[in-house]
């Protein structure tokens, strides 16, 4: 078992110092809650709605932003998943990083960019299987729109992921509500994995976010949910509790 915390976060726009400070405060809160992992939203460090400003804030995976995240992880004992704009050569990726403060961070680059806004800013990565171990569990990452393609979740599940972490920036509206409340539980159920789908909140540039972050169990039940304000969630992740669900819903075995 692990305890997982998540921050449905109102960013301070392109103020990376303020955004890192908010993540640091949440990491301390997670530590007090007994969590060993904190998940934050898509592009939470650089903000999703910053437009062209995001490109100027982009850094390599070994840059100052990820280095600071690793320091926070070491100081608090809480591993972090956070979204940032990653610069690699001439390309800028919409990326998420996992760091526990020791060793090389795991970085995932978004493969399915949503709309002209993202396509004008970022380079899409080929779909990839980003897996890493946390406290004995095998975890994977996707970003926002990626999770809406069942092939992406299935690929991670087939590769051994027990939980998939999904930083997101889903906008307000009927679609955003449907994705959080209906699609994410189905993705978890049809692959018998945990999914943490963690959204931004509030207004950021031209975007208003749907909130409704959710941590879902393999049987499709919600372990923790957020509403329409900044919220801090914590849930116990106990794979052993869902052995019956896995034995009854053998989708991966029967492919």
What is the average pLDDT score of the chain?
Answer: 97
User: How do residues 105-140 score in pLDDT, each as one tens digit?
Assistant: 999 999 999 999 999 999 999 999 999 999 999 999
**Predicted confidence band at 213 (pLDDT cuts at 50, 70, 90)?**
very high
The reported pLDDT for the residue numbered 126 is: 97
- For residue 37, give every residue at least 6 positions away whose Cβ sits within 8 Å of its Cβ, in sequence order, or none: 2, 3, 4, 5, 30, 78, 79, 80, 81, 134, 135
Burial 231-245 (b: 16+ CB within 10 A, else e): bbbbbebebeebeeb
Q: What CATH architecture does domain 2-254 belong to?
A: 4-Layer Sandwich (3.60)
Query: Residues 148-176: pLDDT tens digits?
Result: 999 999 999 999 999 999 999 999 999 99
Asked if 152 contacts 109 with a C-beta cutoff of 8 angstroms, the reply is: no
pLDDT of residue 95: 98
Question: Which residues are marked as active site?
Answer: 42, 110, 144
Look at the pTM and tell me if it is higher than 0.85: yes
Q: What is the pLDDT of residues 12-68, one digit of tens each?
A: 999 999 999 999 999 999 999 999 999 999 999 999 999 999 999 999 999 999 999
Whether 47 and 11 have beta carbons less than 8 Å apart is answered as yes
Q: How far apart are CA 70 and CA 45, in angstroms?
A: 14
Say if residues 1 and 136 touch (Cβ distance below 8 Å): no
User: What pLDDT, on the 0 to 100 scale, is given for residue 137?
Assistant: 98
Q: How far apart are CA 158 and CA 164, in angstroms?
A: 12
The pLDDT score that the predictor gives to residue 198 is 98
């Amino acid at each position: 078992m692990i305890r997982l915390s998540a921050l449905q976060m109102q960013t301070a726009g392109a103020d990376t110092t303020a955004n890192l400070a908010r993540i640091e405060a949440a990491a301390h809160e997670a530590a007090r809650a007994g969590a060993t992992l904190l998940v934050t939203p898509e592009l939470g460090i650089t903000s999703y709605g910053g437009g062209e400003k995001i490109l100027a804030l982009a850094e390599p995976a070994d840059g100052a932003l990820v280095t600071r995240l690793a320091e926070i992880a070491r100081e608090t004992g809480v591993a972090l998943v956070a979204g940032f704009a990653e610069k690699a050569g001439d390309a800028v990726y919409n990326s998420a990083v996992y760091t526990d403060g020791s060793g090389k961070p795991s970085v995932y680059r978004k493969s399915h960019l949503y709309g002209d806004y993202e396509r004008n800013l970022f380079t899409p990565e080929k779909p990839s299987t980003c897996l890493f171990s946390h406290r004995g569990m095998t975890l994977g990452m996707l970003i926002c729109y990626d999770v809406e393609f069942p092939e992406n979740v299935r690929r991670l599940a087939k590769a051994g992921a027990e939980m998939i972490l999904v930083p997101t920036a889903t906008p307000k509206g009927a679609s955003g509500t449907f994705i959080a409340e209906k699609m994410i539980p189905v993705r978890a159920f049809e692959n018998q994995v945990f999914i943490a789908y963690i959204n931004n909140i509030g207004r950021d540039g031209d975007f208003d976010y749907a909130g409704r972050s959710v941590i879902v169990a393999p049987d499709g039940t919600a372990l923790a949910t957020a509403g329409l304000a900044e919220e801090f969630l914590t849930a116990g992740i106990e794979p052993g509790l869902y052995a019956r669900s896995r034995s009854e819903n053998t989708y991966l075995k029967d492919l």
